[in-house]
Structure 1
Amino acid sequence: MEFNDVIKNRYACRKYADRPVEQPVLDGILDVGRLAPTSVDQQEQHVVVIRSGEGLKTVDDLTECRYGAPVVLLITFDRNDVYTYPGGKYDSGVEDASIALTHMMLAATNLGLGSCWVNAFDPDAVRKAFSVPDTEEIVAMLDLGYPAADAAPSAKHGRRKPLEELVSYR
């Protein structure tokens, strides 16, 4: 698929087919996340792949937003291994993990899978349920799977503000 088509076709999938994600496909998506750029190449992101029946039930107990996806990626970063920006107020953790997550989301679309960025959960409950170390910050979960035949973007998906409202020049 052409890159612009990947961008245009990607939507938050909220209904998945009862079809597993093949390991080579999953590995390809995870590798794209590994290749994503990070500040000074820190690569502080960590991905927990959740696909066992027990793990997916736990996700269902933590959020209503799995939508039947056969795989959920839990994205974290190691807060002790981030680049701290000049001035000391901000670090690269959330943005680097988000870049990796976005790359994986677009790779999934390119391979015919659907995805949904999930942040509707209590991070403390997720930390406890999946034994996420205290040194890792939880950023989001990403549902992954093949879209159901009747899956479709939300009504708002095609609505975009004009470029003039989003860009300014100085």
Structure 2
Amino acid sequence: MDFLTLARRRYACRSYTTAEVEREKLDYILQAARVAPTGANRQPQRLIVVQSDDARARLARCARDFGAPCAVIVCADTSEAWVRRYDGKMIGDIDATIVTDHMMLAAAAVGLDTLWVCAFDPEALRREFALPEQLTPVNILMIGYGADAPAPADRHDATRKPLEATVRYE
């Protein structure tokens, strides 16, 4: 499948079956995270895979529970992230987001559905998962098999702005 077909297939899945994510597929997704580009190749991402009933219950105390059998909490290690010298911008959040995107697309490639979650209580995540001070939670990626019909792949024609609205040529 070519890249645009894959990208169009991916959708925000908000309801999951109880089927477990196979270890081979999870490993594939985590390998996609490992090869994601990061600023100066610092690789500040730290991933917490949430699968057990206990861990999923703790996660549900921090963010809305969509019933996914697996989730990955994507954190940035601020002690390792690259800092842009011109303005001091620490890009760990950008690195973590690139990693999240790689995992999301890898999941779609192996037939899994995902939901990228940014609406969560970071302090609650810190407490529930004993995150050290230098780890900043950036995203949560829910992973599993969608319980409902996927969004149509051609939805982007109606829901996305035309290129002229977002691209400028110089």
| Fold conserved between structures, TM > 0.5 | yes
Q: Which amino acid aligns with 2:164?
A: E
CA contact (8 A) 1:13 1:151 kept: no
- Matched with 1:143 is 142
| 1:20-35 equivalence runs, <5 A | 20-35=20-35
Distance 2:93 2:63 in 1: 21
Q: Secondary structure at the residue paired with 2:61?
A: helix
Identify if the C-alpha distance between structure 1 residues 92 and 86 changes in structure 2 by more than 3 Å, giving closer, same or farther. same
**Counterpart contact for 1:33–1:104, Cα < 8 Å:** yes
The residue aligned with 2:36 is 36
* Paired positions, count: 166
- Among candidates 142, 151, 154, match of residue 153 of structure 1: 151
TM-score by length of 2: 0.93
Which sections of structure 2, spanning at least 5 residues, go unmatched?
none
> What value does the CA root-mean-square deviation take over the aligned residues?
1.3
Task: Decide whether the 8 Å contact of 1:15 with 1:151 is kept in 2.
Answer: no
How many percent of aligned residue pairs carry the same amino acid? 37
3-state SS of 2:102 partner: helix
Structure 1 residue 53 corresponds to structure 2 residue 30: no
Q: CA deviation at 1:44?
A: 0.6
Letter in 1 for 2:151: P
Measured in 2, the distance between the counterparts of 1:87 and 1:2 equals 38
- The 8 Å contact of residues 118 and 141 in structure 1, kept in 2 or not, is answered as yes
Aligned to 1:84: 83
**TM-score, with structure 1 as normaliser:** 0.93
- Aligned 8 A contact 1:16 1:151 in 2: no
